[in-house]
Amino acid sequence: MKIAIQGVTGAFHEIAAREYFGKDVETLNCEQFKDVFNSVENTTADFGIAAIENTIAGSILENYLLLKKSKLKVIGELNLHITQNLMALPGTRIDDITEVYSHPIAIQQSKDFFDNYPNIKMINWSDTASAAQKVADEKLAHTAAIASEYAAELYGLQILARNIQTHKQNFTRFLALSRSAVDVPENNKASICFELTHQPGSLVDVLGVFKNNNINLTKIQSLPIVGSPFQYAFYVDLEWTERNNFDRAISKVLNLVSNLSVLGEYKAADRVS
């Protein structure tokens, strides 16, 4: 089984792929998220994994747009505990560091730690693991990376500081992607996208349908509709205990919206606390 991920070996996406699909899967490393979606669509990979939100950095808006644009379906989700670590070549001291490479979200997650090191320059990189790989392969002195402990082990780097993320309860939610939906009795969650007409109270009417059918909204995200100035699409995650309630709610909502897409139905991941 081949799983498309964003990033190189050692990236959090690889960790998520192996936790969700199993330790023995093969990963296909992609430079950008759009490459993950394309790889699954063109059958280069069997499935894909893509982060959709983080408890510190918030939503990854690019992936909402890619999900709507693509023909892929969400078939599952995973909440992965993220711990960020500062790493460098063996023998390096933290006071020797002048530059740090990492993914922008990892840098954002660790911002408070670096307030104590104002002389360190933060440099955005494509992903956490490739930042660690760069430091190791190019033997960059006075340079560090922010990445997982797994990446430090893979690339032979020394961890200078562990768990440097500002909030220790740092989780990223990943979506498992497939070319086809998986309809199983365990499914109790759906991700949908809908658009509304310009009528007063139209969003309230839709949300009221879900409330009246005992559907729990766990996430709502609005994004501009490209080509339609100041109009928005709403991306909503829904959970239910009775499948009939979801089916009945969707049937009613179809009469209230101008467009609706079910992006996937799947089993909700265990809640984090």
**Of the residues 172, 194, 234, 246, which is catalytic?**
172
Condensed to tens digits (0 to 9), the pLDDT of residues 1-58 reads 999 999 999 999 999 999 999 999 999 999 999 999 999 999 999 999 999 999 888 9
Q: What is the pLDDT of residue 197?
A: 84
The answer to whether residues 114 and 183 touch, using CB atoms and an 8 Å cutoff, is no
Average pLDDT (198-212) is 94
- If you ran DSSP here, which 8-state letter would residue 91 be given? T
Confidence of residue 230 (pLDDT cuts 50, 70, 90): confident
Mean pLDDT of the chain: 95
The model's pLDDT over 116-126, given as tens digits with 9 standing for 90+, comes to 999 999 999 99
Q: For residue 44, what are the CA distances in angstroms to 39, 54, 194?
A: 5, 28, 30
Confidence of residue 198 (pLDDT cuts 50, 70, 90): confident
Among this protein's residues, is 174 annotated catalytic? yes
Could you give the angle at the alpha carbon of 33 between the alpha carbons of 193 and 61, nearest 5°?
A: 40
26-33 contacts: CB < 8 A, separation 24 or more? 26/1, 26/2, 27/2, 27/3, 28/2, 28/3, 28/4, 29/5, 30/4, 30/5, 30/6, 31/6, 31/126, 32/6, 33/6, 33/60, 33/62, 33/63, 33/66
* pLDDT for the residue numbered 194: 97
Give, for 228, the enclosing helix (H) or strand (E). Answer: none
Active site residue 128: no
- Among residues 174, 194, 210, 246, the one annotated as catalytic is 174
- Cα angle, residue 12 at apex, residues 83 and 147 outer, rounded to 5°: 55
> In terms of residues, how long is the chain?
273
